Structure 1
Amino acid sequence: MEWVVEEKMEGLVVCPANHVPLTPLSFLERAAFVYRENIALIYGNISYSWEELHGRCINLASSLSQLGVISSGDVVATVAPNVPAQYELHFGVPMAGAVLSALNTMLDATTLAQKLQQLEAKIIFVYSDFIGLVLQALAILQEKDKSCLIVLIHERNNVKKPPVSSSGPSKILDYQTLLEMGQQPNFKIMYPKNEFDPISINFTSGSTGKPKGAVYSHRAAYLNTIADIFRFEMGKSPVFLWTVDMFRCNGWCLPWTVAALGGTNICLSEINGKEILDAIYLHNVTHFCGAPMILTKIANAIGINQPLLPHKVNVTVAGILPPQEILIKLEKLGFTINHAYGMSEALGPMISMPWKCQDEYLSKLNEDVDVKIREGVHNIMMEEVDVKDPESMESVPADGKTIGEIMFRGNAMMMGYLKDSSRTEEAFEGGWYRTKDLGIKYANGNIKLKDRAVDVVKTEGKTISTLEIEGVLIRHPMVLEVAVVARCDDVLGETPCAFVKLKKGCFVTDEEIIKFCEDWLQDYMVPKAVIFGDLPFNSSGKIQKFILRDKVNNALKLCLHSVGELPTPSS
């Protein structure tokens, strides 16, 4: 590294002694030295110390380099659940100078093929359960990916298969065999020369139907790892239960966070309420994160004489919270529940606040119905979070009423979208990341998410938050899932239309649902139509409202078209 002379003040330089490119890889090196014999990871009857885990990651990086398949900056993809190999890949792949892209295991073959084509991955690590899916995706790509190497991850990494297979479009290598190839004492980790070099690519969930590949830098991942410590209130040597998928924003950067603190990772073979509770008692879990549905799973698994948790367990979820009675039940058992807001472009959650029981929930009008969606203040690594007028870029008044677009900027942000300069420029226009989420700002600095800009209902000059209506509907004792979308109206412009899935064995009429809403919402916010049935979810568990919008408005067009074709009655 060349010395850079600083001319502003004599005698100052930037050199290797005072500048090292930031990378979360350094956290594993430190953990292997400081917490050498501490347990780093537990999966069933398998456990590794930090020294052992470090050695496995080194072997992984060394073997990748020896294969000669990848060079610096090439992409290595994974299709795997939260097993030890998936954790090791978060270190081993960038240690070899490559870029990791952990892909959603719930994708269909066509969608997976599209993402693999965009990534141009040289190697794909595949958990055995998903090998059929990956081979289907590669078959769709046909000639384009015949040179791709597949590394097969077997259950608990202890089942050896024939090391190489030439069947299908790709060669297949066993993960354990690959690790054994990497036992080279002279291997040197390929640290980034520039901290802005990419470390990973994470695809957005595509709630609008257009998933994008957000590229993370070593620098942003390092800084967001530090932010995680504050965000999730983690102390030295936490015990972290893996209930958030590592393919979601690199597990919210928590693989690197646990290493930074010398903690213990607990991986589960199956994520359900009983397994989570059992793991908490067995391993003294201190933290876990994920989608709000895990709270419902845990609540449903609580027995009649369930003992209190051995200590307070910190859980952070991002998304629409379940009904308040579930949260109260968990809080009484010993959980501290935090509600977060973020997105793939911000490396996961970036603002959060503790959930507190509100006995007067829904006791006032809709402006106070914000338990589910009030998101708190931004974290230590996000420079600014604001609600702005998207045209003038002026901050909206902090009056808890004026709606604007939530925007932020800071050091824990993506570099941009993979191979999509126009979308990158659009997202960062004006020097802020534009979330396309609408919100209001309070005098105390808290921000309340109102809705996605594409989801709001605009009626007679008013903007209606579909989230607030959903917050009321989910309180109905017979409602399991709900989504509200805008339905076109010739007179009012748009009106709210509710799609409702009832709990098993329950029955309620649309009139009763509407009456329930009338008790809690202002008249213009009450749904004018209710449709019962299953809701469309994407692979990330988010409701695809654009499908529901198209469904209800196309049906309305057909209806109007049919009416228009009817003969006019004679006078």
Structure 2
Amino acid sequence: MNRIEALAQLTGEGLPYELTEIEALGRRVRAFKNAPVNLRALFEAGRSELPFIVYEDERLTFEAAWVASQRLAAAMVADYGVEKGDRVAISMRNYPEWILGFMAATSIGAIAVAMNALWQPHEMEYGLKDSGAKLLLADQERLDRLAACEDAPAGLAVIAVRATKALAAGVRSFDEVMAGAGDAPPPERQVGPDDDAIMLYTSGSTGHPKGAVSTHRNILSALLSWELDAQAGMLAGFAPVVGGPQPAALLSIPLFHVSGLHVSLLQSFRAQRRLVCMYKWDPAQAVEIIEREKITGFNGPPAVTGDLVEIARREGRDLSSLIAVGGGGASRAPEQVRAIDKAFPNAAPNTGWGMTETNAIGTSIAGADYLAHPASSGRVSGVLDIRIVDEAGVAQPANTRGELQIRGASIMRGYWNRPDANADTFVDGWMRTGDVAYVDDEGFVYIVDRIKDLVIRGGENIGCGSVEAALLEHPEVIEASVYGVPDERLGEEVGATIYARSAIDEAELRAFLAPRLARFEIPRHFHFASEPLPRIASGKILKRQLRDEAAVRWG
């Protein structure tokens, strides 16, 4: 049975993953008939005495997390007057309180604003004002940044999480709020599938970030779509190794990203999966956690999964509990895909393509398909449609590059208070992704690059991603970032910053790239870094900083 046949068998009438065409947000979409009505229903259905949240020596069961979240929800209503549709901002590390705050806010119909915890004071001030947040849950580091804001939002209520300093006037500690909440449940509110649930800010290339708002249906469509893809994969012959009595995931990605929030946290409720939270990414600590907690699943961008591969190669640690090593955020080099398969005896590599605006889903690929097509991001989800268009918006045939556009049940409602951005992003019901891609004859999607992440050298378009992939095939290269360097004659030349295990001769590297890239694609400028490349919170390499440094170095 192939994947298409498996999807048809699983989504038919009367089956758990039955798909039906409906109208939502003014769009015709395929939706799961048996999906939970909202996130509260998801949380409540997941109540059990199984371990859920693990942070250092702290442990909460699913039941304990539910009870605590409802106590917090009651306090949000009684003490802070949070109404349906109000924005509750969360800005902190991956503490258990992040999860409880999210559960509490969304279960009473508020919109959880997952703020970037690495924002500086001026960025934090913008996000709070732009979202119109009524309440903020923040840890000490974020409280310090709030205090440093030049013009903090007036009337903002604040709950301090794990504070280590004296609290500002009017700020209450999380423990105090919980102690005073009592046992009365929060009021039950009618929260429909198409009501707003979350707001996550996207890091645009210029200007202020935009708040992407998604509904309960958007999120739940993504969660059930991943389940459907996994079931279809097993019917089609891909059966992962069975783990222990309870699956366990390592949360190493910040929860303010969809890869952390959706893939790691929200999928855990229906899977009854234990979630082990890390304060921040540390490869050595991650290995210890995997061994101690018998982690079965791990998700991270290439730089993070690459760290695990390096440790597995170098130290021979016991990572046999892993049965799935997921990716996302950026394409893995084919060499890393093969290395994951070799480094972890029981783990099947998998990845996918998605965006904040799609609630992290789009395409996915795993197991034998991934090993056979290591440069692909997979096939499209069962609840989504994709197309490739040229600059005029004309759909393109297979194997032709163009902009990837997408539509379906998981696509966000739109950007918060940005009708201009919505008009630019949505075209005839399709969402413009800004990604350059093509689809092969078998339906596998290949993301070539971001539209704005091209080097245009003498009129030739060069995809930075393909050059990075070629560099990463070199056995000594650990990380590589490719960008445009201003050039008087050609407009732009190709530059690359490389972090390697040992010194590499530039001439030898060019010879290595010669059979892998066209001559004009081989970087003219190389910079060899002495330490790992800088990354943003999601684990992606901070290309903008490297590009700016290169402009000064070679300008």
TM category (shorter chain) comes to 0.7 to 0.9
Does structure 1 retain, via aligned residues, the 8 Å contact 2:87–2:112? yes
Does structure 2 retain, via aligned residues, the 8 Å contact 1:38–1:49? yes
- 2:318 is matched with which residue: 297, 307, 317? 307
Match of 2:78 in 1: 66
Does structure 2 retain, via aligned residues, the 8 Å contact 1:318–1:349? no
* Aligned CA distance change for structure 1 residues 478 and 282 (closer, same or farther; 3 Å): closer
* Aligned CA distance change for structure 1 residues 353 and 313 (closer, same or farther; 3 Å): closer
Residues 311-365 of structure 1: CA deviation (Å, up to 9, x unaligned):
6244334314267268525643232211221111111242121266999x9xxxx
- 2:249 is matched with which residue: 227, 240, 260? 240
TM-score with structure 2 setting the length: 0.82
Match of 2:499 in 1: 502
Q: Does 1:395 align with 2:391?
A: no
Q: CA deviation at 1:432?
A: 0.7
Match of 2:303 in 1: 293
Match of 1:335 in 2: 347
Q: Distance in 2 between matches of 1:153 and 1:385?
A: 42
Q: Distance in 2 between matches of 1:375 and 1:104?
A: 26
Q: CA deviation at 1:473?
A: 1.7
AA in 2 matched with 1:332: A
Q: Distance in 2 between matches of 1:546 and 1:307?
A: 37
Match of 1:10 in 2: none
- 1:212 is matched with which residue: 210, 213, 219? 210
Match of 2:524 in 1: 528
Secondary structure of 1:105's match? Answer: coil
- 1:153 is matched with which residue: 158, 161, 166? 161
AA in 2 matched with 1:387: I
AA in 2 matched with 1:524: F
Residues 248-281 of structure 1: CA deviation (Å, up to 9, x unaligned):
0261254332112333222234532233333333
Does structure 1 retain, via aligned residues, the 8 Å contact 2:72–2:181? yes
Residues 424-470 of structure 1: CA deviation (Å, up to 9, x unaligned):
11111222110111112200011111111112233465432221111
AA in 1 matched with 2:285: E
Q: Distance in 2 between matches of 1:21 and 1:460?
A: 53
AA in 1 matched with 2:397: P
Match of 2:46 in 1: 31
Match of 2:413 in 1: 415
Does structure 1 retain, via aligned residues, the 8 Å contact 2:253–2:281? no
Q: Distance in 1 between matches of 2:397 and 2:337?
A: 35
Matches within 5 A, 1:418-437: 418-437=416-435
Q: Distance in 2 between matches of 1:503 and 1:24?
A: 44
AA in 2 matched with 1:285: I
* Aligned CA distance change for structure 1 residues 51 and 480 (closer, same or farther; 3 Å): closer
Q: Distance in 2 between matches of 1:501 and 1:461?
A: 26
- 1:474 is matched with which residue: 472, 475, 478? 472
Q: Distance in 2 between matches of 1:540 and 1:50?
A: 26
Does structure 2 retain, via aligned residues, the 8 Å contact 1:221–1:253? no
Unaligned runs of 5+ in 1: 1-17, 362-369, 560-571
Matches within 5 A, 1:67-82: 67-82=79-94
Match of 1:376 in 2: 378
Does structure 1 retain, via aligned residues, the 8 Å contact 2:248–2:296? yes
Q: Does 1:176 align with 2:175?
A: yes
Q: Distance in 1 between matches of 2:203 and 2:300?
A: 14
Residues 132-171 of structure 1: CA deviation (Å, up to 9, x unaligned):
12322xx3224xx24222211128xxx9x98xx444xxx2
* Aligned CA distance change for structure 1 residues 150 and 389 (closer, same or farther; 3 Å): same
Structure having the higher Rg:
1
TM-score with structure 1 setting the length: 0.79
AA in 1 matched with 2:497: V
Does structure 2 retain, via aligned residues, the 8 Å contact 1:207–1:544? no
Q: Does 1:114 align with 2:123?
A: no
- 1:55 is matched with which residue: 55, 58, 67? 67
Q: Distance in 2 between matches of 1:61 and 1:322?
A: 44
Match of 1:5 in 2: none
* Aligned CA distance change for structure 1 residues 416 and 77 (closer, same or farther; 3 Å): same
Secondary structure of 2:151's match? Answer: helix
Match of 2:481 in 1: 483
Does structure 1 retain, via aligned residues, the 8 Å contact 2:74–2:184? no
Residues 222-257 of structure 1: CA deviation (Å, up to 9, x unaligned):
211212324567999532221232110261254332
Matches within 5 A, 1:442-481: 442-459=440-457, 462-481=460-479
Q: Distance in 2 between matches of 1:253 and 1:517?
A: 35
Does structure 1 retain, via aligned residues, the 8 Å contact 2:331–2:377? no
Does structure 2 retain, via aligned residues, the 8 Å contact 1:82–1:267? yes
Q: Distance in 2 between matches of 1:252 and 1:296?
A: 22
Does structure 1 retain, via aligned residues, the 8 Å contact 2:69–2:104? yes
Matched-pair identity in %: 20
- 2:332 is matched with which residue: 321, 330, 350? 321
Secondary structure of 1:435's match? Answer: strand
Does structure 2 retain, via aligned residues, the 8 Å contact 1:245–1:290? no
Count how many residue pairs are aligned between Structure 1 and Structure 2. Answer: 507
Does structure 1 retain, via aligned residues, the 8 Å contact 2:309–2:339? no
Q: CA deviation at 1:489?
A: 5.2
- 2:261 is matched with which residue: 248, 251, 258? 251
Q: Distance in 2 between matches of 1:478 and 1:237?
A: 38
Q: Distance in 2 between matches of 1:412 and 1:358?
A: 24
* Aligned CA distance change for structure 1 residues 335 and 276 (closer, same or farther; 3 Å): farther
Q: Distance in 2 between matches of 1:541 and 1:19?
A: 35
Secondary structure of 2:93's match? Answer: coil
Does structure 2 retain, via aligned residues, the 8 Å contact 1:340–1:351? yes
Does structure 2 retain, via aligned residues, the 8 Å contact 1:208–1:545? no
Secondary structure of 1:141's match? Answer: coil
Secondary structure of 2:184's match? Answer: coil
Between 539-548 and 403-412, report the one with greater CA deviation.
539-548
Q: Does 1:438 align with 2:439?
A: no
Q: Distance in 2 between matches of 1:519 and 1:101?
A: 48
Does structure 1 retain, via aligned residues, the 8 Å contact 2:71–2:184? no
* Aligned CA distance change for structure 1 residues 21 and 294 (closer, same or farther; 3 Å): closer
AA in 2 matched with 1:301: I
Q: CA deviation at 1:519?
A: 3.5
Secondary structure of 1:374's match? Answer: coil
Match of 2:237 in 1: none
AA in 2 matched with 1:374: S
AA in 2 matched with 1:388: V
Q: CA deviation at 1:551?
A: 6.2
Q: CA deviation at 1:29?
A: 1.1
* Aligned CA distance change for structure 1 residues 424 and 308 (closer, same or farther; 3 Å): closer
Q: Does 1:518 align with 2:514?
A: yes
Secondary structure of 1:81's match? Answer: coil
Residues 64-121 of structure 1: CA deviation (Å, up to 9, x unaligned):
0011343221111111122211111221012233211121222222222221221221
